[in-house]
Amino acid sequence: MINIAILGYGTVGSGVVEVIKTNQSSIDKRAGKHINIKHVLDLRKFPGDPVEEILTDNVEDILNDDEVKIIVEVMGGVEPAYTYVKRALLSGKSVVTSNKELVAKHGAELLQIAKEKNINFLFEASVGGGIPIIRPLNQSLTADEIYEITGILNGTTNYILSKMADEGRSFEDVLKEAQDKGYAERDPRADVEGYDACRKIAILSSLAFGMQVDYEDIYTEGITKITKKDMEYAEKLGCSIKLLATSKKIDHRIFARVSPVMIDKEHPLATVNGVFNAIFIKGNVIGDVMFYGKGAGKLPTASAVVADIVDAVKHLNRNIVSFWSTEKMSLMDLKDVTTQYFVKIHYENFEKARKEVENLFGPIDIIQLDKKDQEFAFITPEESEGTLQEKIFTLKEKDDITEVGSLIRIER
């Protein structure tokens, strides 16, 4: 038998208890030992709940209990999670967490402590919810040099974009519905501004490239400015609009970005809809692989946490090696990365506006939904973001251009 303790009895914590109870016998068989939940930490009371008897509001009961070998941290947020997890590791307890803020911020250090102590710090659930991605990155893609990771890493924004595309509704309208249904938070910024996806791609990049990628360094743009009309243009171009978190190796340098992208419908990520997440990886020998599943939710996330618990039991005093050094990776300046933009132009005189655009960008294909709108769109040639932004700035100054809008990156 092995004793574990769970820090936090919220959605994921109660999911972990439920998953262990539901599949106890097969989980014990896989782990090779009976897994016993000895303590659950939460400041709240849960009268009548099965965990009532093992509930404590004092973390010392857990950290000082020598019988507890594995701690499951599912509180979220950097503090006090960081303090508890670090103390647990230093005292020789393995830690499993679903906490992306903690992992993005302190993953390298906590992995290092686990290595020194010959125990484990595991965080499969911190990215992609139930989707196996951390373990495949560490253990399955070991023959490859990875040069691209691109993911749909946030279910809320993918749900909103899917609904906007399918039902021709506005961002605000779908967001409100998602909030009413409980799919989106009352304060939706962490999702819709891309902050959540940013932390997750920081974790994946750090693991894939072996150095610390600070999430603060990653250019992050949300989906709040995407309009119904953008969706119509995307459809016309044979594209879907997705919030993509991406990280690429270009000539031994790394760049990372979170932003909406118009992506060709033939791309495997384009058909990932609703609350599903997917992570697309390119390796120099394996080619393209993709991992797809529920990126959030009580039971899928708990499934990943429990799979980590099983691994921690199987490797009680044996560190599972991963390569993520504390050395900081300096990312490429976004300005130096080439891309193509989808750009919308409002005009009073079509021919004059077109001429201004072509003076800057060369010959363009005009994409137009309805002439009455006095608006057309075009796709820029592939140039560095710096050059493109300068040209767009120049365009905005022109008298014959009433307005320049959208600026969505496009990959076809």
Known binding positions for L-homoserine? 185
Question: Are the CB atoms for 147 and 284 separated by under 8 Å?
Answer: yes
Sign of the torsion angle spanned by Cα atoms 76, 77, 82, 84: negative
Using CA atoms, how far apart are residues 12 and 8, in angstroms rounded to an integer? 8
Q: Is 29 a residue of the active site?
A: no
Least separation in angstroms between CB 167 and a second copy: 15
Strands (E), 206-357: 219-220, 239-250, 253-264, 276-283, 287-294, 338-339, 341-347
Q: Which of residues 130-149 bind a second copy (CB under 8 A)?
A: 130-132, 135-136, 139-145
Least separation in angstroms between CB 70 and a second copy: 14
Stretch that binds a second copy, among 56-64, 125-133, 249-257, 401-409 (CB under 8 A): 125-133
Is residue 316 at the binding interface for a second copy, with CB under 8 A as the rule? no
Q: Which of residues 177-236 bind a second copy (CB under 8 A)?
A: none
Q: Which of 200, 248, 249, 398 is catalytic?
A: 200
Of residues 47, 182, 287, 362, which one binds a second copy by CB under 8 A?
287
Of residues 4, 17, 27, 81, which one binds a second copy by CB under 8 A?
27
Q: Residues at the annotated binding site for NADP(+)?
A: 7-14
| Residue 1 or 321 with smaller CB distance to a second copy | 321
| Count of residues that interact with a second copy, criterion CB under 8 A | 55
Using CA atoms, how far apart are residues 92 and 68, in angstroms rounded to an integer? 10
Q: Is the peptide bond before 381 cis (omega within 30 degrees of 0)?
A: no
Of residues 113, 289, 369, 392, which one binds a second copy by CB under 8 A?
289
Is residue 31 at the binding interface for a second copy, with CB under 8 A as the rule? yes
| Residue 26 or 351 with smaller CB distance to a second copy | 26
Residues ≥6 apart with Cβ < 8 Å to 181: none
Burial class of residue 210 (count of CB atoms within 10 Å of its CB; 0-12, 13-18, 19+):
middle
| Residue 342, phi then psi, degrees to nearest 5 | -90, 125
Of residues 228, 291, 389, 404, which one binds a second copy by CB under 8 A?
291
The 3-state secondary structure of 336-379, one letter per residue: HCEECEEEEEEECCHHHHHHHHHHHHCCCCCECCCHHHCEEEEE
Unique residue bearing structure tokens 């655009």: 357
| Residue 136 or 405 with smaller CB distance to a second copy | 136
Is residue 1 at the binding interface for a second copy, with CB under 8 A as the rule? no
Q: How far is CA 407 from each of CA 1, 48, 257, 328, 395, rounded to the nearest angstrom?
A: 57, 54, 15, 31, 13
Q: If we measure between CA atoms, which residue out of 408, 400, 34, 118 comes closest to residue 242?
A: 408
Stretch that binds a second copy, among 16-24, 81-89, 155-163, 336-344 (CB under 8 A): 16-24
Least separation in angstroms between CB 399 and a second copy: 46
Is residue 23 at the binding interface for a second copy, with CB under 8 A as the rule? yes
Taking only Cα atoms into account, the Rg of the chain, rounded to an integer number of angstroms, comes to: 24
Of residues 76, 283, 386, 405, which one binds a second copy by CB under 8 A?
283
Q: If we measure between CA atoms, which residue out of 287, 245, 250, 249 comes closest to residue 269?
A: 245
Q: Residues at the annotated binding site?
A: 7-14, 100, 185
Catalytic residues: 200
Interface with a second copy (CB under 8 A): 19, 22-23, 26-27, 29-32, 124, 130-132, 135-136, 139-145, 266, 268, 271-273, 276, 283-294, 297, 299-300, 302-307, 309-311, 314, 321, 323
